[in-house]
Amino acid sequence: MYSQLSSGNGSKAQHSNAHALHSAHLDSSNDAEKALQQHGASTLLGMSIAIVANVVISVALNFQKVEGQRCRQQGIPYTQSRRWWSAFALMVFGELGNFTAYAFAPAALVAPLGAVSVVSNSILASFISGERFRPRDFLGTLFVCAGGFMLVWFAPTKEQELDVEL
């Protein structure tokens, strides 16, 4: 050991070990940051899918309602209408999107976003169905948005891992 210190090889080896440890720490912290960024991106993707899917569901429901009213006026069953079935297929597509969102984001975040469907339905109904948007509808929409925001804001940031142990 004395020969290593006197020749300078020991200090190089110690420096090399310290550098390797520091590099390993940086690699693990970079891996942790990458995992956190991927988790955040995954959550954002899941939330985006849920929002779009719920808007699609609202559009489909409004189209079904309009087509059902048209069929009733003409005296034909709505189940014989291609438009009604198209709207039904659109709703199924929206529900599949909602289901897919659970794969990317925690349920505690995706479930409250179902309120987007209520909000978008109340707004779209005034345009598609010609329904009146009253002040109490606006107030209810504000309450739904505030409640959804609070649920998403205070939701857990990571899911609890569950395992089967007897």
Cβ distance 113 to 148 under 8 Å? Answer: yes
pLDDT in tens, 33-46: 554 456 678 888 99
Please give the model's pTM, rounded to 2 decimal places.
0.68
pLDDT of residue 145: 84
pLDDT in tens, 74-133: 999 999 999 999 999 999 999 999 999 999 988 888 888 888 888 888 888 988 888 888
- As a whole number, the mean pLDDT across the chain is 79
pLDDT of residue 24: 46
Q: How many CA atoms lie within 13 A of 23 on its CB side?
A: 6
